[in-house]
């Protein structure tokens, strides 16, 4: 084993073994696929069935229920995947197995049928369970003899995570929104497959590293903990044994069944009207929530009873850990709105059209934002090629294919945006006037499609709208167009192929096909429509920009306490949503919010994440005795899983709350809750310091 590690460190790239960058690219392509699919799912499920890019027209509530269960299980299966790798497969084979299963999952989702969607999501959950915990385990094993370089290695690896997320959301999102959903889902699968192949072909570089099951004592390394085994042993506190009692085991089984049952039942009850917990319904409270409350009560009893069986210092530190885990739920239920409600908000409520100089500036910024990171990563690939081609030629060739494909896609995307032209077109619409709840007159315009039956009493007026397309049209030209969003405020040109698809789709659904005849009135200055998915890349971009600043802050003499970091993370997160609530104030109907509010929100959300997210895993390893690391990491990921599920459930209420109140009210919920949680955890700082007994 030591010989393999020594050999790895002979072929260095940027001061680290070439194997680290093989893992960097493996994780990059996996994150490309994961985030590329993630940014599409809720958008696809909730997009109108009639339109330029038809979706399934689910309610946001139903889409959120399904996505929430998927996101929740993604944090549960890695616990099992880590155990299987430790006992049976070894880390490298676990990564390969997981990558293959995820590739099949992406392929299944590209088929766009209901069965293939569920199968695809299930495969992604299972595959992630094998992949997620074990690729970092290989890094940990590589750096056993060089612990001083481990922090730098994980920093480089984390950049791979963010690079993959950045390009995955950008390219999969762009392809899905501009060409078709199956292309976006399919692209995620293609890069997952190529990433699997490049890792498979790199086996010679690692020797026996990651090939054999690891010892149980090494589990803390699996979870990215920065503490060495020696550090943990120094902190170990003598205590009496605390084995799991029969009652403990029974409670664990019951809580697991209730939790898994809820995760499956929530989307099933909303989408298919099949409720496994209907017998427990109490008044207006759904049966599944009664079950969850019962499970929560049993779980709290289990945790508290076990904690109080430990010696005083260990007990206090465990209580501090539980408090941190509790507030972690509040952070993620807010932060993960980026995968559900903020996607819907960006699509339906944000003005994403830029024209003239604004469009030119965006194209330049987007080019720099895309090309510069891709150039840097391509340069890293070149360095890796020079050092490792003789040992792993096929792995390097696959990586070259990946990057060649990436450059082609980026070139196509940028060329399309630069060559988009803006046209003002006129179309006929039926004007209707109604009165809202406040007694105000509201005028609506319903486009006259090629299938609309216009009555003699209808008031038909001429309307104009701008469309931006990478095609040449002339003034006076007759065209067909169709809506691109769910509220009918933006339109897209229909080519002959898309026109035929729209007509067939209308027949299949037995609905008006939505094809609107129009006439080109004016050729305008250049215009570009920003994709919904583009806003999601801001999180990765801001992490890359600000991560080093926060790292230096934490290493300085001004490094705040854990509770202060939590308070900052939650409060800054709440401020981000407060800005959205302010920007959306007074917005109703087809009015749009300026995109600057959403950009600022993502900035504050990222700053909050950098305060809180990296702290959590570190404090697990610091507060928990070494032999309990695995169990406590499981509880930590359970807290994140609960946060993700709650995020999707609450995010699914954006339509209901907006309809009942307004859009600002929805965002105020995610302003007030995290800020109150932040103030509370900040106030607990003195108590937490005492409970931590000197752990910093």
Look at residue 526 in the predicted model and tell me its pLDDT: 81
Q: What is the pLDDT of residues 47-104, one digit of tens each?
A: 999 999 999 999 999 999 999 999 999 988 887 887 788 778 888 888 889 999 999 9
Identify the band that residue 593 occupies on the pLDDT scale cut at 50, 70 and 90.
very high
Whether the Cβ atoms of residue 220 and residue 227 lie closer than 8 Å to each other? yes
- Looking at the structure, tell me whether residues 425 and 488 fall in a common domain: yes
Q: Among 173, 177, 202, 172, which residue's Cα sits nearest to residue 187?
A: 172
What's the number of domains the chain is made of?
4
Whether the Cβ atoms of residue 423 and residue 478 lie closer than 8 Å to each other? no
Could you say which DSSP state residue 47 is in? Answer: S
Q: What is the pLDDT of residues 318-327, one digit of tens each?
A: 888 889 989 9
Residue 416 has pLDDT above 60, yes or no: yes
Helix boundaries (H) for 389-516: 393-418, 496-509
Q: Which of 502, 525, 548 is the last residue of a domain?
A: 525
Label the pairing between strands 527-529 and 593-594.
unpaired
> 464 pairs with which residues across the strands?
426
Only one residue has tokens 């100089």, namely 357
> 424 pairs with which residues across the strands?
466, 522
- Other Cβ atoms less than 10 A from the Cβ of 10: the count is 9
- Looking at the structure, tell me whether residues 134 and 51 fall in a common domain: yes
**What is this structure's pTM?**
0.88
Only one residue has tokens 């510069």, namely 372
Look at residue 548 in the predicted model and tell me its pLDDT: 81
Residue 392: inside a domain, yes or no?
Answer: no
Q: Which of 170, 189, 224 is the last residue of a domain?
A: 224
* 492: enclosing H helix or E strand: strand 491-493
CA distance 55 to 47: 4
- Looking at the structure, tell me whether residues 320 and 433 fall in a common domain: no
What are the distances in angstroms from CA 447 to CA 339, 348, 425, 443, 444? Answer: 31, 18, 13, 13, 10
Three-class secondary structure of residue 453 per DSSP? coil
Whether the Cβ atoms of residue 389 and residue 11 lie closer than 8 Å to each other? no
Residue 233 has pLDDT above 50, yes or no: no
List Cβ neighbours of 691 (8 Å cut-off, separation of 6 or more).
316, 317, 319, 320, 323
Whether the Cβ atoms of residue 32 and residue 402 lie closer than 8 Å to each other? no
Tokens of 465: 């709208």
Residue 357: inside a domain, yes or no?
Answer: no
Residue 431: inside a domain, yes or no?
Answer: yes
Out of 222-226, 387-391, 481-485, 634-638, least confident range? 222-226
131, burial (CB in 10 Å: exposed 0-12, middle 13-18, buried 19+) = buried
Average pLDDT over residues 468-485: 92
Q: What are phi and psi of 496, to 5 degrees?
A: -60, -40
CA distance 632 to 635: 5
Residue 395: inside a domain, yes or no?
Answer: no
- Looking at the structure, tell me whether residues 686 and 609 fall in a common domain: yes
Residue 619: inside a domain, yes or no?
Answer: yes
Q: Among 229, 235, 32, which residue's Cα sits nearest to residue 150?
A: 229
Only one residue has tokens 């699509």, namely 347
Q: At what angle do helices 150-178 and 393-418 cross, to 10 degrees?
A: 50
What are the distances in angstroms from CA 280 to CA 256, 264, 277, 333? Answer: 18, 16, 6, 26
Residue 411: inside a domain, yes or no?
Answer: no
What are the distances in angstroms from CA 390 to CA 22, 393, 394, 399? Answer: 14, 6, 10, 15
Residue 5 has pLDDT above 60, yes or no: no
Q: Which of 496, 525, 554 is the last residue of a domain?
A: 525
- Looking at the structure, tell me whether residues 305 and 318 fall in a common domain: no
Look at residue 283 in the predicted model and tell me its pLDDT: 82
Residue 391: inside a domain, yes or no?
Answer: no
Three-class secondary structure of residue 652 per DSSP? coil
Q: What are phi and psi of 346, to 5 degrees?
A: -65, -35
- Looking at the structure, tell me whether residues 580 and 603 fall in a common domain: yes
- Looking at the structure, tell me whether residues 9 and 51 fall in a common domain: yes
Query: Residue 575's domain spans which residues?
Result: 311-351+535-696
- Looking at the structure, tell me whether residues 302 and 316 fall in a common domain: no
Tokens of 9: 């460190």
- Looking at the structure, tell me whether residues 121 and 132 fall in a common domain: yes
List Cβ neighbours of 52 (8 Å cut-off, separation of 6 or more).
482, 483, 484, 491, 492, 494, 498
Identify the band that residue 8 occupies on the pLDDT scale cut at 50, 70 and 90.
low
Distance between terminal CA atoms of the chain? 34
Residue ranges with strand state E in 572-628: 593-594
Out of 201-210, 211-220, 241-250, 267-276, least confident range? 211-220
Look at residue 671 in the predicted model and tell me its pLDDT: 97
CA distance 257 to 441: 53
- Looking at the structure, tell me whether residues 54 and 137 fall in a common domain: yes
CA distance 519 to 248: 72
Label the pairing between strands 593-594 and 350-351.
parallel
CA distance 329 to 638: 9
Q: Can you give the CATH number for the domain in which 671 is found?
A: 1.20.1250.20
Could you say which DSSP state residue 213 is in? Answer: P
CA distance 668 to 670: 5
Residue 168 has pLDDT above 90, yes or no: yes
Q: What is the pLDDT of residues 331-343, one digit of tens each?
A: 999 999 999 999 9
- Looking at the structure, tell me whether residues 301 and 156 fall in a common domain: no
Look at residue 214 in the predicted model and tell me its pLDDT: 45
Q: What is the pLDDT of residues 276-293, one digit of tens each?
A: 998 888 888 889 999 999
Tokens of 690: 């005492």
Residue 241 has pLDDT above 50, yes or no: yes
- Looking at the structure, tell me whether residues 96 and 213 fall in a common domain: yes
Identify the band that residue 6 occupies on the pLDDT scale cut at 50, 70 and 90.
low
Look at residue 218 in the predicted model and tell me its pLDDT: 41
CA distance 429 to 517: 11
Residue 381: inside a domain, yes or no?
Answer: no
């Amino acid at each position: 084993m030591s010989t393999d590690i020594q050999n790895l460190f002979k072929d260095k790239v940027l001061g680290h073994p070439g194997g680290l960058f093989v893992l960097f690219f493996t994780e990059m392509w996996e994150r490309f696929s994961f985030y590329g699919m993630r940014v599409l799912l809720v958008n696809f499920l909730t997009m109108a069935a009639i339109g330029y890019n038809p979706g399934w027209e689910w309610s946001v509530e139903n889409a959120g229920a399904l996505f929430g269960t998927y996101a929740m299980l993604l944090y549960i299966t890695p616990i099992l995947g880590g155990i299987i790798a430790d006992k049976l497969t070894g880390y490298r084979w676990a990564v390969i197995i997981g990558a293959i299963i995820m590739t099949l999952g992406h392929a299944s989702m590209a088929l766009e049928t209901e069965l293939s969607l569920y199968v695809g999501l299930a495969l992604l959950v299972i595959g992630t369970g094998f992949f997620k915990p074990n690729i970092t385990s290989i890094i940990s094993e590589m750096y056993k003899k060089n612990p001083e370089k481990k922090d730098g290695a994980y920093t480089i690896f984390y950049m791979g995570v963010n690079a993959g997320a950045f390009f995955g959301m950008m390219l999969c999102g762009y392809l899905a929104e501009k060409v078709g959903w199956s292309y976006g889902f399919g692209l995620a699968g293609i890069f997952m497959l190529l990433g699997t192949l490049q890792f498979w072909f790199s086996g010679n570089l690692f020797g026996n590293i990651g090939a054999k099951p690891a010892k149980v004592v090494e589990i803390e390394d699996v979870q990215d903990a920065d503490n060495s085994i020696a550090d943990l042993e120094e902190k170990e506190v003598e205590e009496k044994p605390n084995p799991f009692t029969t009652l403990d085991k029974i409670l664990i089984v019951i809580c697991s069944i209730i939790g898994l049952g809820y995760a499956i039942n929530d989307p099933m009850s909303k989408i298919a009207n099949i409720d496994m917990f209907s017998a427990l319904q109490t008044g207006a409270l759904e049966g599944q929530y009664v079950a969850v409350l019962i499970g929560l009560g049993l779980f709290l009893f289990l945790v508290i009873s076990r904690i109080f069986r430990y010696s005083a210092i260990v007990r206090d530190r465990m209580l501090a850990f539980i408090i941190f885990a509790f507030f972690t739920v509040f952070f993620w239920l807010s932060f993960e709105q980026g995968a559900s409600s903020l996607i819907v908000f960006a699509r339906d409520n944000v003005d994403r059209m830029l024209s003239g100089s604004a469009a030119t500036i965006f194209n330049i910024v987007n080019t720099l934002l895309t090309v510069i990171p891709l150039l840097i990563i391509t340069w890293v690939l070149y360095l890796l090629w020079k050092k490792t081609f003789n040992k792993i030629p096929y792995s390097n060739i696959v990586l070259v294919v990946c990057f060649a494909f990436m450059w082609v896609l980026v070139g196509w995307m940028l060329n399309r945006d630069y060559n988009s032209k803006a046209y003002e077109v006129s179309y006929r619409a039926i004007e209707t006037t109604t009165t809202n709840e406040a007694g105000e007159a509201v005028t609506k315009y319903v486009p006259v499609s090629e299938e609309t039956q216009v009555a003699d009493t209808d008031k038909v007026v001429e309307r104009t709208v701008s469309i931006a397309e990478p095609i040449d049209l002339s003034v006076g030209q007759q065209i067909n167009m169709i809506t691109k969003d769910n509220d009918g405020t933006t339109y897209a040109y229909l080519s002959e192929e898309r026109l035929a698809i729209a007509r067939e789709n209308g027949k299949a659904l037995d609905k008006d096909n939505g094809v609107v005849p129009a006439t080109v009135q004016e050729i305008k200055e250049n215009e570009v429509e920003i994709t919904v998915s583009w806003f999601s890349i801001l999180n990765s971009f801001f992490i890359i920009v600000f991560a080093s600043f926060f790292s230096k802050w934490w290493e300085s003499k001004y490094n705040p306490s854990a509770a202060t970091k939590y308070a900052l993370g939650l409060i800054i997160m709440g401020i981000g949503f407060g800005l959205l609530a302010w920007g959306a104030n007074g917005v109703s109907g087809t009015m749009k919010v300026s995109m600057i509010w959403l950009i600022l929100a993502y900035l504050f959300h990222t700053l909050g994440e950098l305060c809180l997210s990296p702290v959590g895993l570190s404090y697990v390893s610091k507060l928990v005795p070494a032999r309990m690391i695995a169990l406590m990491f499981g509880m930590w990921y359970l807290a994140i899983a609960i946060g993700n599920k709650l995020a999707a459930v609450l995010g699914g209420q954006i339509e209901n709350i907006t309809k009942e109140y307004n859009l600002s009210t929805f965002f105020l919920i995610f302003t007030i809750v995290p800020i109150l949680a932040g103030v509370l955890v900040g106030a607990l700082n003195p108590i937490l310091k005492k409970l931590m007994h000197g752990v910093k």
